[in-house]
Amino acid sequence: MALRASHLSWEAVNDADCPQRLTTSKHRTKTAMTDAAEMAYNSMMNKQDADDASLAEEPELSLEEEEAMDEQYNAQAEQQHNGDSEMLMPGIVRDEQAEHHLRSLKRHQDNYAAVQGRFDTEIARLMARSERELQKIKRRISWHEGGLKAYYTNKGQKRLVLANATLSSVKGRPSVDVRDPELLETWCVETGRADAEDLFRRTESPDKKKILAYIKETGEEPPGCQVSTGADTFKVKF
């Protein structure tokens, strides 16, 4: 006991003789108090976040209500498929119902994109395969036709009647390919011949964008035009 008391007394004197040690002890105490305050603050904020999340939880329908909505849709879809009636839109009167439809809408949109992607991939694969197969068949067709054409030419007859078919030659018809329409139009105008314009049939259509810009700028509708405003579009953005 004497040794313990002496030890404690020495530490106390030593602390008194060393102000720096006392300062360090006070700093540690202050740091511990700061850490405790920070932990308390974080705990309070976490609790607040949890409370906010609880308040922000989306309302949900009961299982019976969801099943009733699904049955309603299935019945209407079947009637529309049979041509009995038009599809009636769902009546939404509560947030719970709106949230249910939003979840279903997002799920079906994602499913639509996924199914479309799978079919696009499959269609591309089938198109590539069909092209390869058709090219093989076309080469066989050209091979058979080439041999028969050479045989027909060597026979020197206008019509060669065989058991499975009749071989003959059809005289080609003349056709014209307009390589430079602008050059042709210039020629039609410069010649001035009465029948020159008949060689160039011009197809024109009103420029709706320029007409609308003119109406917006002047407030005047040209004869034969009528401006109409489309219906508002309902949009859901996720």
Domain annotation covers residue 22: yes
Domain annotation covers residue 184: no
What's the start-to-end Cα distance of the chain, in Å?
76
Q: Are residues 84 and 155 in the same domain?
A: yes
Query: Ranked by mean pLDDT, which of 30-34, 151-155, 168-172 comes out on top?
Result: 151-155
Q: Are residues 25 and 83 in the same domain?
A: no
The answer to whether residue 27 scores a pLDDT higher than 60 is no
Q: Are residues 91 and 130 in the same domain?
A: yes
Q: Is the pTM of this model over 0.95?
A: no
Q: Are residues 71 and 29 in the same domain?
A: no
Instruction: Look at residue 218 and give its three-state secondary structure.
Output: helix
Point out the domain boundary residue: 165, 180, 197: 165
- What whole-number distance in Å separates Cα of residue 200 and Cα of residue 185? 6
Contacts 24+ apart (CB under 8 A), 199-208: none
Q: Are residues 72 and 155 in the same domain?
A: yes
Q: Are residues 34 and 74 in the same domain?
A: no
Domain annotation covers residue 27: yes
Q: Are residues 75 and 132 in the same domain?
A: yes
Determine what percent of the chain falls in helix, strand and coil, rounding each to the nearest 5.
Answer: 65, 5, 30
Mean pLDDT, residues 218-237 taken together: 78
Contact, 182 vs 200, CB < 8 A?
no
How many domains does the chain fold into? Answer: 2
Lowest mean pLDDT among 10-24, 85-99, 204-218: 10-24
Point out the domain boundary residue: 144, 165, 186: 165
Point out the domain boundary residue: 103, 130, 165: 165
The share of the chain scoring above pLDDT 90, in percent, equals 25
Q: Are residues 11 and 84 in the same domain?
A: no
Which residue is listed with tokens 């430079």?
A: 180
Domain annotation covers residue 177: no
Domain annotation covers residue 133: yes
The answer to whether residue 25 scores a pLDDT higher than 80 is no
Q: Are residues 136 and 78 in the same domain?
A: yes
Question: In the chain, how long is the greatest CA-to-CA distance?
Answer: 141
Domain annotation covers residue 223: no
Contact, 85 vs 79, CB < 8 A?
yes
Residue ranges with strand state E in 75-216: 159-161, 166-168
Structure-block tokens of residue 18? 């060393």
3-state SS, one letter per residue, for 78-100? HHHHCCCCCCCCCCCCCHHHHHH
Q: Are residues 118 and 40 in the same domain?
A: no
Q: Domain limits at 155?
A: 66-165
Model pLDDT for residues 113-134, shown as the tens digit of each residue: 999 999 999 999 999 999 999 9
Mean pLDDT, residues 22-45 taken together: 53
The answer to whether residue 108 scores a pLDDT higher than 60 is yes
Q: Measured between alpha carbons, how far is residue 212 from residues 203, 219, 230 in Å?
A: 21, 10, 14
The share of the chain scoring above pLDDT 70, in percent, equals 65
Domain annotation covers residue 213: no
Q: Are residues 40 and 126 in the same domain?
A: no
Q: According to the model, what pLDDT value does residue 70 have?
A: 80
Domain annotation covers residue 109: yes
Residue 219 φ then ψ, to 5°: 75, 10
Q: Are residues 111 and 21 in the same domain?
A: no
- What whole-number distance in Å separates Cα of residue 81 and Cα of residue 154? 63
Exposure b/e, 33-44, CB count within 10 A at least 16 = b = eeeeeeeeeeee
